[in-house]
Amino acid sequence: MRASALAIFLIGLPATAFAGGGFDLVVPGRPGVPIIINNIDASYAVVEGVWGLGKNVQVQPTIYGGVYVPERQPSDVGHYYPSLGLQPGYGRLEVEPPANRKLPKPAESYHQSWGASSAPLPPQMDVPVNPPPVILAPEINDYPRPPRPRPRTGMPGRPPG
């Protein structure tokens, strides 16, 4: 009984090790939103060699049935790159006003300042009318100190004392 269970386990073990090396059919999560892999629209195509995040090896996938999508300009994605020489796709329109236009009235003056300081000290407390008596307790030394050893003379490196 144990031998047959062990044999079934050992036969099924290599099959599960190679289970992730097949192909995948790519289905987009939302209609109209393409799945782009290396400038190829892989929507409803067969992709072979994608292992995902489960392995520590990156493979160049092979896409069967995908459509090549030409490289898009960066301005199409909502960013403005002045080095391309293109106008931005959206944003405010900058218009330089004429020099002889009527100027608006000047703004009123405005001044504001901030400061920091410590919290005020509490008022001094007066001595109570009937202060508690101060009791001086005598020092009681329950553990007398051991006598200090006398310095030795005649030891090398020590001056005689």
Contacts of 152 (CB under 8 A, 6+ apart): 158
Q: Where do the structural domains in the chain lie, given as residue ranges?
A: 21-73
For each of the chain's 161 residues, which pLDDT tens digit applies? 767 766 665 666 555 555 556 778 888 888 888 888 888 898 999 988 766 656 666 677 888 988 888 876 544 555 666 777 776 666 677 788 899 999 999 999 999 999 999 888 888 777 777 777 777 777 777 777 777 777 766 666 656 55
- The per-residue pLDDT for 148 is 78
User: Which CA distances in Å does 27 have to 41, 54, 61, 64, 66?
Assistant: 11, 20, 16, 14, 12
DSSP state of 21: S
- The per-residue pLDDT for 75 is 44
Say if residues 161 and 151 touch (Cβ distance below 8 Å): yes
- The per-residue pLDDT for 6 is 63
Q: Which residues pair with 122 in a beta bridge?
A: none
